[in-house]
Structures are given as C-alpha cells and as structure tokens.
Amino acid sequence: MNNEVNKNSKVSANTILEVADLSVGFNTLAGHINVVRDINFSVKSGETMALVGESGSGKSVTAMSVLRLHDEEKVEYSSGSVCFRGQDLLKDEEAIKKVRGSEISMIFQEPMTSLNPTFTVGTQIMEPMLIHKGMSRTAAKKRAIELMELTGIPEPHYRFDAFPHLLSGGQRQRMMISMALACEPKLLIADEPTTALDVTVQLQILLLLEKLKKEFSMAVLMITHDLNLVKRFSDQVCVMQDGNIVEQGNVKSLFDDPQHPYTIKLLNSEPERIIPEGETDSLQDKPQLMSGQQLKCHFSSSKGFFKRTRTTIKAVDNIDLFLREGETLGIVGESGSGKSTLGRCLLRLENCSGDIYFNNAQIDQLSHTALRPLRKEFQVVFQDPYSSLSPRMTIEQIIGEGLKIHFPHLDKAQRREKIKKVLLEVGLDEDILWRYPHEFSGGQRQRIAIARVVILEPKLILLDEPTSALDVSVQKQVLVLLRELQQRHKISYLFITHDLKVIEAVAHRIMVMKNGQIIETGETSQIFNEPKENYTRNLLTASLFKNEAEIKGTA
C-alpha cells in the first residue's frame, strides 16, 4: 500500500486522470482559506477510485475541481495540475469546454436540486448530445429513450416528457445517470450518488453503475463517506482529512492493513452492537410503556390533470405494537413505508384511529389541552438538527424553552443550572450557552437537539432518522451517547431508520414496515440471522452488501 504519492513516478499508459500537487482555496470575507492542499492521485481506465473522508475533508471540492465547477470569482487554484488524457484542464480553457459533459460527466448528490424543474427530463438528457455530438433532435430523443431504458426507467417513452418533481428519488437519480452517460464519457464523477436513497435503491444504482462501467469501458471517481460501499465497489481508495490525502492504496490492502490513525479511526467507526447479550431477554418482564392497537392513518389524494380522481393512501394500516420500559424498538423500511407517520401517530402528532396507551392510560381520545401535561413524557429528535433548531435562538434559549413550559416553578438561575448539567451530560461545554446553532458541526447540533429533549426527563423518545445526516465517526458517538442516556435515565426509544447497520447496533426488537403495514417483527438477532420475509431479506442484502446465503447464516 502506498501512503504517500510518488510525485516523480511515471504515469501509467492507461492512466486517464492525473491530479498532481493540487491546492484549492476560496476567497471569503474572512480572507483566503486553503481547502485542499497538495493532492496527488491518478485514475486508470476502467477502474473505480474512491475519495473517502468526513464532511469538510475536501472530497467534493477536489472532485469539482476536475471539471472546474467552482465559482471562478471565489476559487483560486494556487498550484498543481489536473491532466485528463494528457491535457491540463486547469490551464486549458478550451479543453475543459470540450470534455465537460462529453468525456467527463458528473452525478451529483441530490438529483432534485441538480435537475432543472422547468424542463422535462427527456429534454435534459438530450441536451449534452445536441451540444457535444451535434445530433438531430430526433436522433437525440431516440438515444435518450434508449439510455432511460438502459438505466432501468419504467415506461421510458412515457417518462421522457415528465418533469423531475413527478419522479421518485431513485428514478431522478437514474435520470441523472442517463444524462451523464449521454455522450459515453471516459470518466464519470459520482458525488455521494446514493446518500439520499433507500438501501434497496442504493444497491440497484451501484450495481447499475458497475454494469455501465464495464459496458462503456469507463473510469469512475466516487466521492463517499460510506466505507461499506467503498469496500464493495471500488478498486483504489484515497482517504482525505482536512484537505489532505493521508493514505491511499488498493482497497484490500487499505482495509486489511490501514496505516494512518485517521483511516483506522474511520474503519473503527462502523456501528457495532452496543446492547449486551442477554439484555433483550431481561426486558421481557418489564411493563409496557406504550402500545397501539389497530392504528390506521389514511390520506386522501387527488390525481389527474383536473385533480378529479380521488385515491386513498394507507400510510398506517391496522398496526398493533408495544414498547417496554427501557427498550429500544427499531422501525425499519423504505421511504414511504409509513415509519415516520406511525411514530407521529403514537405521539398524537398525526390524526389517526385506533387505541393508544401510554403508561397504562388511554391517550387517543384526550384533547390537546388534556394531552399537554403529558408532552414532556414523550419527545422527538428529528433527522436534521439544523432545520429543527431555531437559528434566531441561543443554545440556552433552545434547551431552556421546554423547561419554561413544563417546569414553570424553576427560576432563571435554576433553569441555567439544569441546562449546564445536561450539556455536560451530552458531551458539550457549558460555555456554548450564548452561541447559535450555525456555529456548530452536524454532530454538535444533534447533541444539542438531544439535550433539548433529555432535559425534560421524558420516559420515551422518538428518534426519527437521528444519524442519517452524520458522518460515520460522529454517528457512532451519537449512538453511544443515546445508549448511555438510556441506561442512566431508563428511557425507551422508538428508533426510526432505513439504515440497518445502525438499527442492528442499538435495537432490542425490530419491526419491518412496508406499504403501511408491519410485515415482520422479532428480536434483532432473529431479524438479522433468520428473516422470514423476502422483503426483509432484500433490505438486509442491500444494506449490508451481503448475499442471501450469508443472511440466512448458511454461508
């Protein structure tokens, strides 16, 4: 394994991209900031190179520099070169215009913000062929439909005239891939291409890229923080930290024998089971804290051009469940399966029918006024802490807001003392009281969101995808914190996620949802080792990149 790039090494004959001594900085109001420093790597034809690292490590800045997609007025390429098939794209303005979108294409992380909402997807797929290949509109449309079919878009003739908002997340990402492949590029840059997708769709997209890579003899530069994905789909890997490549080599060598402490830290950050063996059995005798019987939540939706056709969406369809004191119940499934709606129904944040019991009292018929004193007993930690924390309030105001409502007998000094205590409990310093949410990292903001909930001393916390927006190392820290708080305060968790690696680490029991129904439930070990339903097996296969034999324990 090569921990440092040999800058004097001779470029291989089949090397398609050579990045040498690349340094990138941005001109800001605070002055010039160096973001990427002395980056060296190369990509060969037909291979996949992965750039991995946490948020802010410089992965995306490096990738976007290859195509010079940064704001030219704010960016400064202070040194280095980006040579594609012998041409330095940083120095040659004409070269970058010729290769951008034709020989080098890019798939962005969020297809909804990358696709133009005012044009049909078919028009957008045709555009690079019209510009770079000079094809007629008839020929370009025919080829666009062929590409849509190739990337697995159902009814491509019909979808050709659809606008982006009418497609699912997976379909939009497939459209982005079709657009990127329109001119049969020699290099495809994929920036977190599966982060926003369900695990099953993730696997479909990755297998599709692998197939197309062989079909088009294409090289892939993949930017990701998912080490499982890197191990399964990449040939070479560069690990980035604070704008530097700290280690690189082939995937097997790096995973088997990592050298740099940061690489070792990343590899050790994969979620591991933190529930002691036997604890699930010991919870069998604990009383039920919450239960729901025959829960239903149906929405009415309009379809058609004049919105005359009414359909019923069964988001939650006749579900029974229970949660014991001190237990973590994981609710998993794909987007649209009804996980979050079920959680909101149980906490009376969504209208539904059925019986809901909390602490032996029926709460489904209580008015909002009667329910208000109970609100402090069940709280919510949301997926995105940045959007759930008010940007206009200080940390003291955010965490103390609930205290004013539910603990009105406390004076200002007493509230501050409780806030300081809970900040220390979640691993933050008390000197942050007067700062604002935008001044903190994603992991710190999630800790603040947890502190805001824990300070009310709830018996139950609904965790709605609490780690999906976090890097792997921060994710592990948050999971360990949640476990410590559960043990210390005897809290019960409803943990909603589509990440099965996370749920395997923290859940005592798991419920699998599909189309508003619970299709399988059981202890975590049983669900992972002996799943009964094909849908569950497909989720496990996609999430853990295992084959079915391994999941059944027969491999």
Query: Tens of pLDDT along 448-492?
Result: 999 999 999 999 999 998 887 677 888 888 999 999 999 999 999
415 and 535, same domain (yes or no): yes
pLDDT at residue 529 in the model:
92
Please check the confidence at residue 413 and state whether its pLDDT lies above 90: yes
3-state secondary structure of 55: coil
pLDDT at residue 30 in the model:
67
- Beta-carbon contacts of 474 under 8 Å, excluding residues fewer than 6 positions away, are 54, 441, 442, 443, 446
Q: How many domains does the chain have?
A: 3
Name the CA dihedral angle for 273, 279, 284, 287, rounded to a multiple of 10 degrees: -90
- 239 within some domain: yes
- Beta-carbon contacts of 151 under 8 Å, excluding residues fewer than 6 positions away, are 174, 175, 177, 178, 181, 208, 212
3-state secondary structure of 536: helix
Which of 268, 297, 328 terminates a domain? The answer is: 268
Instruction: Please check whether residue 449 is in contact with residue 388, taking contact to mean a CB–CB distance below 8 angstroms.
Output: yes
Instruction: Please check whether residue 444 is in contact with residue 428, taking contact to mean a CB–CB distance below 8 angstroms.
Output: yes
254 and 292, same domain (yes or no): no
Please check the confidence at residue 531 and state whether its pLDDT lies above 50: yes
Which of 209, 241, 268 terminates a domain? The answer is: 268
Q: Which of 499, 468, 461 is nearest to 333 (CA)?
A: 499
One-letter amino acid for residue 116 of the chain: N
- 273 within some domain: no
- Mean pLDDT, range 515-539, rounded to an integer: 94
Which of 268, 296, 321 terminates a domain? The answer is: 268
Please check the confidence at residue 551 and state whether its pLDDT lies above 70: no
- 553 within some domain: no
Angle subtended by helix axes 472-489 and 442-454, to nearest 10: 10
- 554 within some domain: no
pLDDT at residue 309 in the model:
62
In the sheet where 87-88 sits, what is the strand order?
31-44, 15-28, 75-84, 87-88
- Beta-carbon contacts of 391 under 8 Å, excluding residues fewer than 6 positions away, are 436, 437, 438
Q: Which domain holds residue 44?
A: 1-103+185-268
Instruction: Give the integer Cα–Cα distance in Å for 436 and 424.
Output: 17
Please check the confidence at residue 53 and state whether its pLDDT lies above 80: yes
Bridge-based pairing state of the strands 492-497 and 328-332: parallel
- Mean pLDDT, range 355-359, rounded to an integer: 96
- 333 within some domain: yes
pLDDT at residue 3 in the model:
47
68 and 96, same domain (yes or no): yes
124 and 213, same domain (yes or no): no
- 551 within some domain: no
336 and 433, same domain (yes or no): yes
On average, the pLDDT of the chain sits at: 88
Instruction: Give the integer Cα–Cα distance in Å for 548 and 555.
Output: 9
- Mean pLDDT, range 278-287, rounded to an integer: 93
345 and 494, same domain (yes or no): yes
3-state secondary structure of 83: strand
Instruction: Give the integer Cα–Cα distance in Å for 236 and 240.
Output: 13
Neighbours of 360 (CB within 10 A): 9
What share of the chain has pLDDT > 90, as a percent? Answer: 57
pTM for this structure? 0.79
pLDDT at residue 6 in the model:
43
Q: What are the tens digits of pLDDT across the range 372-410?
A: 999 999 999 987 777 889 999 999 999 999 999 999 999
Please check the confidence at residue 173 and state whether its pLDDT lies above 90: no
**Better-predicted residue by pLDDT, 70 or 119:** 119
- Beta-carbon contacts of 319 under 8 Å, excluding residues fewer than 6 positions away, are 292, 294, 295, 296, 342, 354, 516, 517, 518
One-letter amino acid for residue 57 of the chain: S
Q: What is the DSSP letter of 250?
A: E
What share of the chain has pLDDT > 70, as a percent? Answer: 93
364 and 375, same domain (yes or no): yes
Task: State the burial class of residue 61 (Cβ atoms within 10 Å of its Cβ: 0-12, 13-18, 19+).
Answer: buried
3-state secondary structure of 306: coil
What pLDDT band is residue 226 in, cutting at 50, 70 and 90?
Answer: confident
pLDDT at residue 308 in the model:
60
Quick one: the chain helix, strand, coil %, rounded to 5?
Answer: 40, 25, 35
Lowest mean pLDDT across 39-53, 160-174, 391-405: 160-174
- Mean pLDDT, range 276-280, rounded to an integer: 92
pLDDT at residue 221 in the model:
96
120 and 41, same domain (yes or no): no
What CATH number has the domain bearing residue 55?
3.40.50.300
Instruction: Please check whether residue 183 is in contact with residue 128, taking contact to mean a CB–CB distance below 8 angstroms.
Output: yes
Instruction: Give the integer Cα–Cα distance in Å for 101 and 77.
Output: 21
310 and 379, same domain (yes or no): yes
247 and 335, same domain (yes or no): no
pLDDT at residue 302 in the model:
58
Instruction: Please check whether residue 482 is in contact with residue 493, taking contact to mean a CB–CB distance below 8 angstroms.
Output: yes
pLDDT at residue 8 in the model:
42
pLDDT at residue 10 in the model:
47
262 and 319, same domain (yes or no): no
Instruction: Give the integer Cα–Cα distance in Å for 181 and 125.
Output: 9
Length of the chain: 555
Q: Which residue has the tokens 């599966």?
A: 194
Please check the confidence at residue 207 and state whether its pLDDT lies above 80: yes
pLDDT at residue 7 in the model:
46
One-letter amino acid for residue 354 of the chain: G
134 and 47, same domain (yes or no): no
Instruction: Give the integer Cα–Cα distance in Å for 38 and 56.
Output: 16
